[in-house]
Amino acid sequence: MRDLLSLPKADLHVHLEDAIRPVTLREIAASHGLSPPPAAPTTSSASFFQAHDLIRNCLRTAADFRRIAVELCADEAAQGTRYSEVSFTAAAHGERLSDMQMPLRAVLDGLAEGQASYGLQVQLLLDHSRRRPVERAWQTLRLAEAHAGQGVIAVGLAGDEAYPADPFAAVFRAARSAGLHVVHHAGEAAGPASIRQAITEGQAERIGHGIRILEDERLVAEVRDRAIPLEVCPHSNVLLGLCPSLPEHPLPRLRAAGLLVTVNTDIPAMTGAGLAEEYRLLRDTFGYSDAVLAEVARHGVSASFASPGLQAQLQAEIDAWLI
């Protein structure tokens, strides 16, 4: 069995705020005279959203945002990640801190430093909570447009899937017209209808999670035929109670259905699992061979918004890993 740390990988679904090292979070909180968020286990989507809000509120200064971006690069590189697309709620932070530009600029500065230091490429997806106003979604789009070409490549919806995507349709039509990519969370807590909504009115090119797609055979066929990738995050799905256990995770059935499945970390600070650990899960739980793991890694690269040149380079390096 080959070393999974040395397998070149792409992490397409990871939230910056939920990748903060616990020690960093404690130090940042203390620097602002705050108590760090309690270490109570996250066991549901509701407890996750609560913990996420507590983490976000500890971030106050440009130095905070820059630090967590640099450290994300270090942690991803240590897992053998060569390319990552990181989600960041830039507009929410900007509103909270009364400075729409500072959080995003600080994160982009940190990512630039981290990429130079650790030898990977990272790009940003600016996400927006479905629970929040449409006007903030427009602010998210304006931020993305202003920083396109500086590391921001996409926008999308995250948050509680009980809230529909329809009110935001005009935002994402405008995003595609502006040349930005669009990716939405869907089919995680909500059913197949949320996925169909995402790929129609929502303009989504990839689906964050999508694990409930198997409940609709016609949708499976459509997503398969259109080669729309799924960003599957096994540890996260189990931690949040969306799958009862790792052996019962639908990932093998998603692959058997011919869907383009990628494997990602989502909330690594909460799961304790980096990307190499997610791949080890596939090996240990499902008995996947190195050839299958390399195929999963290839799907992550081909589903990414990396440049054609970088995609070709990473695909060649994955092939070399198998030799």
Active site members = 188
Residue 202 and residue 184 in contact, taking contact as beta carbons nearer than 8 Å: yes
The total number of residues shown for the chain amounts to 323
| CA 198 vs CA 6, 213, 271: distances in Å | 34, 12, 26
Residue 320 burial by CB count (10 A; 0-12/13-18/19+): exposed, middle or buried?
exposed
* Position 76, amino acid: E
Q: Which residue is listed with tokens 């189990």? A: 238
Query: Residue 127 is encoded by which pair of tokens?
Result: 């996400």
The DSSP secondary-structure symbol of 215 reads G
Task: Tell me the C-alpha distance between 323 and 270, whole Å.
Answer: 35
Report the interhelical angle of 62-78 vs 22-31 (nearest 10°).
170
- Mapping DSSP to helix (H, G, I), strand (E, B) and coil, where does residue 123 land? strand
